[in-house]
Structure 1
Amino acid sequence: MLALAPDASSAQVARKLTSPAKWPTLNASPEALWGECQGSGSKPYLVGIDLRTPEYACKCSCPSRKFPCKHGLALLLLHVGGQGQWGSAELPETLQTWLDGRQTRQERAAQTEPAPEKTADPAAKAKREKARAAKVTAGLAELHLWLQDLIREGLHAARTLPYRTWDAQAARLIDAQVSGAARLVRQIPDALQGEGGETLLVHLGKLALLCEGWTRRDSLEDPERLQLLTALGQPLDTAALLAGEGQAEEWTALGFIHQSEGKLEVRRTWLRRSRDGQMAALLDFAVAGRGFPAPLPLFFSGQLDVRLVPTLYPQRALLAGVPEWSADGATPVLPPLSVADLHRHYAAALALNPWLDFMGCTLGPVWLLPDPPEAHDLHGHAVALRTADVFLLMAYAEGKPAMLLGEWNGRDFEVISVMDALPLPAHGADA
């Protein structure tokens, strides 16, 4: 239910509203939930949830513009948690009118004949693609010249430049329809912190490689070209990737992470293929104020038709069809991965995709330490952790070595899930 929250603050407040004392009225039927939530005013808010559709549409008399609002989320949490005294009273007239209107609109949509498909004009399409390519070429040529000037003036001088320098260059790249390059330019201030300038030089190298790759795009193999276009910010052709018959294999959902990118909310769900340990990330997007689809059940194995994007280092994936989950939800046995293995795997991944932002992987068994937040493996090697609450992670680990699911970017490890580790070898045995 919390995965439906439009943002983290709504989920947090909804948890606080799950006290039955705040709900003088609670009612449930096969089609809907409804109740009254006492707010700061004298009159309680009237809340309704439509259970007939997967998105659990919500209507509330509160002034919030978020869907679902905190009261709708709290009503759902109360119901799935079995909290409070639930009756079966009839819906109030306002909520019944809302439900009837939703059903009428759905019936009209089902009866409406689809508009005839427009036949694409190959000549017009080729003309548009040529114009777009010319715009990208001009934008990246200007970027390459700008990078040369930046290097010629010296990396130390870059620290003295105002933020509007980076924002202006990023805006020009947006106009050239290369949002991926614009994102890298906006990240330059984060790379100015190092004393020696190595981080900044590596970051500028990624941008220079984008410019070089675009000029040689016609000589690249399909996986290389797709990787380049994705790094530049061109949208993925999901229809082509989902076309045709796929193959269902056993995958396990290990965890998911939420991030905000401006007005867009992104959820990455990490899957692991049982056959070979291949990691795959499913992306869900939601405009601020809208919820995500229901999440996949964690630690359940199932037959999933997962389509990996065919790049040199495949990581992003799409899900075709409906998953078939097994009855038991046992946590998968994860092979150990030391810190040295983590660095080796990441180096191999960068060799295939130099624009890789992060690598999804499991790490462990490791001990978690709070100050500074670090994970130490059995060999005494450590990686820094990027987490808001390392003590919460330590509580999940219960003071024992644990396996971590997370994203490694070459500098720090962002923990997504904490799982039990394999039993440690007996004293004196080979680790």
Structure 2
Amino acid sequence: MNRSTESILSLAPDASSAAAARKLLSPGKWPTLSASPEALWGECQGSGAQPYVVGVDLRTPELASKCSCPSRKFPCKHALALLLLEAGQQGTWTAAPLPDTLQKWLDGRQARAETAAAPKPEKPADPAAKAKREAARSQKITRGLEDLHLWLQDLIREGLQAARTRSYRDWDAQAARLIDAQAPGAARLVRQIPEHLPDETGEALLLHLGKLALLCEGWQHREVLSEPERAQLLTALGQPLDTAALPGEGPAEQWTAMGAQTEQDGKLNTRRTWLRRDADGQIGVLLEFAPQGTGLSAEWPARHSAALKVRFVPTAHPQRVLVDTSEARFSATSRQPAPVSIRELYAAYAGALALNPWVESIGFEIGPVSILPDPPQAHDDHGDAVPLLDADPYALLAHSAGQRMHVFGEWDGQAFRPLSAVPERRGAES
């Protein structure tokens, strides 16, 4: 585990935990601090009579900590502060023996790791049982999507204006039925319907309902789809990715991390990291997931490149990638972006939609563009413009230093979310 201050703070489950950890960096709050090659542990004096006992296992690359505090966040502020104190060489550290509770915890982790590493006898595959499970799952999905298709027909028959009068319970109830039918991707699209209701034209809502209708139609005709199209359909329905069936890894190639976006979806944290292959400009997106309360891995620095082994998930519109990051070493790139017009952005998105009607966004770099602050927009020399989403236009203007910019971001057909930017004649990272 990298124990620099930046990498430690990146493990915090939220900004408030990172801020709370910084407040605990006074050595006077820690009557005991102890370090060994296997673990860190300490006592942190809180508001109670007894200090909290916190330990961190140093034997594994991922973070593992235990604390007697009542916090449900992982890692808690005490574990973060303990790591920060050790990284900054603050406080008085000794080689005090571990308390029994922490020693039992470490021994238990060691025993579980040894059990997991022990070779297990392979059970012979049972084709009949597998076929039975797949048939039962397909039957559930079929019933759920047939119910969804009827529900969509009723929605259209009532009129889109009537959809605005429905309560959130209607959307949640339909989404819950799709979860039971093992179609969480369709359930997610149903939960997103209220986001499109404020649009008075109804165009956004109709487009969104069209994606749901295509899911129903695609599943009904799945047998005539090609393998990449069927894989795309299953992904849109939210079926888990079978990594064992993917092609093997190829040679390491130079890829540049272009930016990342982290979102919360229910009880899940999702991060999209966009990559661009230096050789030909091919774009890929790496998806990472973590339950709420647990931290994602450290975010890759934007506009930095590394030699990576990348595998594309085979679909009609290849975009999602799997990456071997075990030997990734990122360094700043000095490559100057090539000019790409906003018109080419439109064409790329249209091409992606033609191959995958459920694509939510594409990663793309536009430039050189000028930033307009009110309303936030980026426009190019051809007179085309895109609205900017979740962006501070004044920060972009300050970063540009009066120059036009190359901006990489996510385009969903409606708005462009900037993730990184460089001025036109300068290769500095944003």
Which TM-score band applies after superposition, normalised by the shorter structure?
Answer: 0.7 to 0.9
The letter of the residue matching 2:165 is: T
**Alignment of 1:192 onto 2:197:** yes
Alignment partner, residue 235 of structure 2: 230
Q: 1:26, 1:85 within 8 Å by CA — same for their partners in 2?
A: no
Which runs of no fewer than 5 residues in structure 1 stay unpaired? 425-431
Instruction: Show CA shifts across 1:310-334 (max 9, x none).
Output: 11211111123633436x4335432
Alignment partner, residue 273 of structure 2: 269
How far apart are the structure 2 equivalents of 1:151 and 1:214?
20
How far apart are the structure 1 equivalents of 2:48 and 2:387?
47
Name the SS for the 1:406 alignment partner: strand
Change (3 A) 1:108 1:22: closer
1:198-347 to 2 correspondences below 5 Å: 198-241=203-246, 244-296=248-300, 298-320=302-324, 322-325=326-329, 328-347=331-350
How far apart are the structure 2 equivalents of 1:106 and 1:384?
53
Q: 2:272, 2:287 within 8 Å by CA — same for their partners in 1?
A: yes
Give the alignment partner of residue 369 of structure 2, picking from 359, 366, 383. Answer: 366
The letter of the residue matching 1:120 is: A
The letter of the residue matching 1:422 is: E
The letter of the residue matching 2:155 is: L
Q: 2:55, 2:102 within 8 Å by CA — same for their partners in 1?
A: no
Q: What displacement does 1:382 show? A: 2.9
Alignment partner, residue 423 of structure 1: 425
Q: 2:400, 2:423 within 8 Å by CA — same for their partners in 1?
A: no
Alignment partner, residue 12 of structure 2: 5
1:115-154 to 2 correspondences below 5 Å: 115-154=120-159
How far apart are the structure 2 equivalents of 1:373 and 1:78?
42
Give the alignment partner of residue 178 of structure 2, picking from 173, 177, 180. Answer: 173
**Alignment of 1:182 onto 2:184:** no
How far apart are the structure 1 equivalents of 2:49 and 2:151?
62
Change (3 A) 1:28 1:421: farther
Q: 2:345, 2:366 within 8 Å by CA — same for their partners in 1?
A: yes
Name the SS for the 1:258 alignment partner: strand
Q: What displacement does 1:199 show? A: 0.9
How far apart are the structure 1 equivalents of 2:245 and 2:222?
20
How far apart are the structure 2 equivalents of 1:124 and 1:195?
51
Alignment partner, residue 156 of structure 1: 161
Q: 2:391, 2:418 within 8 Å by CA — same for their partners in 1?
A: no
How far apart are the structure 1 equivalents of 2:147 and 2:112?
52
Q: 1:180, 1:231 within 8 Å by CA — same for their partners in 2?
A: yes
Change (3 A) 1:28 1:396: farther
Name the SS for the 1:93 alignment partner: coil
Q: What displacement does 1:51 show? A: 2.5
Instruction: Show CA shifts across 1:180-222 (max 9, x none).
Output: 1111111111111111211111111111111111121111111
Q: How many residues get paired?
A: 418
Q: What displacement does 1:117 show? A: 2.1
Alignment partner, residue 429 of structure 1: none
How far apart are the structure 1 equivalents of 2:23 and 2:356?
44
Q: TM-score, structure 1 length as denominator?
A: 0.85
Which runs of no fewer than 5 residues in structure 2 stay unpaired? 1-7
1:327-406 to 2 correspondences below 5 Å: 328-387=331-390, 389-398=392-401, 400-406=403-409
How far apart are the structure 1 equivalents of 2:134 and 2:353?
30
How far apart are the structure 2 equivalents of 1:156 and 1:226?
35
Q: 1:252, 1:332 within 8 Å by CA — same for their partners in 2?
A: no
* Range moving further from structure 2, 262-271 or 4-13: 4-13
Q: 2:271, 2:289 within 8 Å by CA — same for their partners in 1?
A: yes
* Range moving further from structure 2, 379-388 or 116-125: 379-388
Alignment partner, residue 73 of structure 2: 66
How far apart are the structure 2 equivalents of 1:219 and 1:104?
51
The letter of the residue matching 1:239 is: A
Instruction: Show CA shifts across 1:91-140 (max 9, x none).
Output: 3532x862574256425642674332222211121122222222222222
Q: What displacement does 1:279 show? A: 1.7
Q: What displacement does 1:378 show? A: 4.3
Change (3 A) 1:116 1:174: same
Q: TM-score, structure 2 length as denominator?
A: 0.86
The letter of the residue matching 1:59 is: K
The letter of the residue matching 2:77 is: K
Name the SS for the 2:366 alignment partner: strand
How far apart are the structure 1 equivalents of 2:378 and 2:19?
28
> Percent identity at matched positions?
60
Change (3 A) 1:92 1:371: farther
Change (3 A) 1:268 1:114: same
Name the SS for the 1:4 alignment partner: coil
Change (3 A) 1:225 1:289: same
1:90-129 to 2 correspondences below 5 Å: 90-91=95-96, 93-94=98-99, 98=102, 101-103=105-107, 105-106=109-110, 109-110=113-114, 113-129=118-134
Change (3 A) 1:261 1:176: same
How far apart are the structure 2 equivalents of 1:164 and 1:102?
46
Alignment partner, residue 428 of structure 1: none
Q: What displacement does 1:345 show? A: 1.4
Change (3 A) 1:342 1:177: same
Instruction: Show CA shifts across 1:334-362 (max 9, x none).
Output: 22333222222111111111101111222
